[in-house]
Amino acid sequence: MSADARAATPPAAATPPVTGPRTWPLWEVFVRGKRGLSHVHVGSLHAPDATMALRNARDVYTRRQEGVSIWVVAARDITASSPEERDSFFDPAADKVYRHPTFYDVPEDVEYL
């Protein structure tokens, strides 16, 4: 019943194809929270252009007062490291403890360290 009933009452003009050339591009969303110091990646969304992406981000990611500032970046403009490069990119840092600032004596009254 349900399939037939739904087919009988299509929502007028509200069902463009969700794949193919009419799909909107993907945008990555960064939100700065009230007390945060920098924008943090919160997710992604689709939008036809940057202006609409910003508005969609407002609707999707800041409904509950999560932020005071939003950045959107076209996902295609992001150059990312690839999983195959993981070994050569990141593993060499594993055994270099001298890169960590753990060999200092920190005076007790220094804050924010």
Partner 1 sequence: MGGPTVATNLLAAQYIQGLADDALVYAQRLGEWVSRAPQIEEDMALANIGLDLLGQARALLTRVGELDGSGRSEDDLAYLRDEREFRNVHLLEQEVAGFGFEMARLLWFASYQWELYAGLRTSVDEVVAGVAAKALKEVTYHRDHATQWVLRLGDGTAESHERMQQALVDVEPYVTELFDDDPASVAAAESGVGVLPSSLEDAVRARVSAVVEEATVALPESARWRSRGGRDGVHSRPMGYLLAEMQHIARSNPGAQW
Chain residues binding partner 1 by CB under 8 A are: 11-16, 18, 24, 45-49, 51-52, 55-56, 58-60, 63
Measured from the CB atom, the residue of 1 and 18 that comes closer to partner 1 is 18
Q: Is 34 or 100 the residue whose CB approaches partner 1 more closely?
A: 34
Q: Which long-range contacts (CB under 8 A, 24 or more apart) does 47-56 make?
A: 47/72, 48/24, 50/74, 53/27, 53/29, 56/27
Q: Which residues pair with 46 in a beta bridge?
A: 26
Return d(Cα 60, Cα 71) in angstroms, integer: 13
Helix (H, G, I), strand (E, B) or coil at 26: strand
Q: How many angstroms separate the CA atoms of 77 and 27, rounded?
A: 9
Q: Give me the least distance between CB of 108 and partner 1, in Å please.
A: 47
The minimum distance between CB 50 and partner 1, in angstroms, equals 12
Q: 15 vs 38, which CB is nearer to partner 1?
A: 15
Smallest distance from partner 1 to CB 13, Å:
3
The nearest distance, CB 31 to partner 1, in angstroms, is 15
CA distance 97 to 85: 22
- Closer of 64 and 96 to partner 1 (Cβ): 64
